């Protein structure tokens, strides 16, 4: 029985599936926490959500959080003109994965999926969130904007209650992620390896929350196999 966290998949369905099925070998007794940004930029946003839904239907425990890209897509649905910022930040690729130019053509089950996403998860030993928390607020757990968008934040150990924060949102080099995990008692761990980006980024990472073992796979969405 293990707990894993993955963030910022961004439409990279092939590497996500390989991570879950071949690298983690996810069991029904495990729990997989996904920290948002399933869509946009990458080639198969629809496929990522389909795989998550398939895992759940197959009896796997998958907890899904909201990312800023899901939030932007939900906002875009409310605006008939489609906000430029969502389309510019990967919305075009998401529509393409659904083989449509219209948000209204996307089946309702995908909107249900996004509307049911959680803002954060509170465990005995972890706080899981997409972007982070603004501890300058009296009660940061009501500040949904920061949970989706904040970049730099300082931990408040008292408010954290002895728990570590695991988040994504800000693409980080794999060497930096690995170094933060290896610290004797890391307070904050960013696991966004910039999967959808190239150059020195381009890794999908998964963190074992029980052992702090870091799994990292280089993105090869164009490959036929990852073996």
pLDDT, residue 224, reads: 59
Looking at the predicted structure, is the pLDDT value of residue 187 above 60?
A: yes
Mean pLDDT of 85-100: 96
Q: Which of 22-26, 60-64, 83-87, 94-98 has the lowest mean pLDDT?
A: 83-87
- pTM of the predicted model over 0.85: yes
Q: At 51, list the tokens.
A: 């795989």
The residue with tokens 């003109």 is 81
Looking at the predicted structure, is the pLDDT value of residue 226 above 70?
A: no
d(CA 93, CA 173): 24
64: pLDDT confidence band, cut at 50, 70 and 90?
very high
d(CA 177, CA 185): 14
pLDDT, residue 190, reads: 98
d(CA 140, CA 131): 13
Q: At 223, list the tokens.
A: 């490959």
């Amino acid at each position: 029985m293990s707990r894993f966290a993955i963030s910022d998949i961004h439409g990279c369905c092939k590497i996500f599936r390989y991570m879950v099925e071949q690298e983690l070998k996810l069991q029904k007794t495990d729990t997989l926490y996904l920290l948002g940004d399933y869509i946009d930029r990458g080639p198969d946003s629809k496929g990522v959500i389909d795989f998550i839904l398939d895992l759940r239907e197959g009896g796997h425990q998958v907890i899904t959080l909201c990312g800023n890209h899901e939030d932007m897509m939900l906002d875009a649905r409310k605006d008939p003109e489609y906000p430029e910022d969502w389309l510019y930040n990967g919305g075009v690729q998401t529509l393409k994965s659904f083989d449509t130019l219209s948000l209204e053509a996307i089946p309702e089950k995908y909107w249900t999926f996004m509307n049911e996403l959680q803002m954060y998860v509170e465990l005995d030993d972890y706080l899981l969130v997409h972007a982070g928390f603004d501890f300058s607020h009296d009660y940061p757990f009501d500040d949904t904007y920061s949970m989706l968008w904040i970049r730099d934040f300082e931990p408040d150990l008292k408010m954290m209650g002895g728990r570590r924060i695991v988040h994504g949102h800000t693409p980080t080099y794999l060497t930096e992620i690995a170094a933060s995990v290896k610290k004797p008692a890391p307070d904050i761990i960013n696991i966004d390896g910039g999967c959808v980006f190239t150059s020195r980024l381009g890794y999908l990472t998964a963190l074992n929350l029980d052992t702090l073992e870091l799994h990292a796979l280089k993105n090869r969405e164009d490959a036929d196999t990852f073996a």
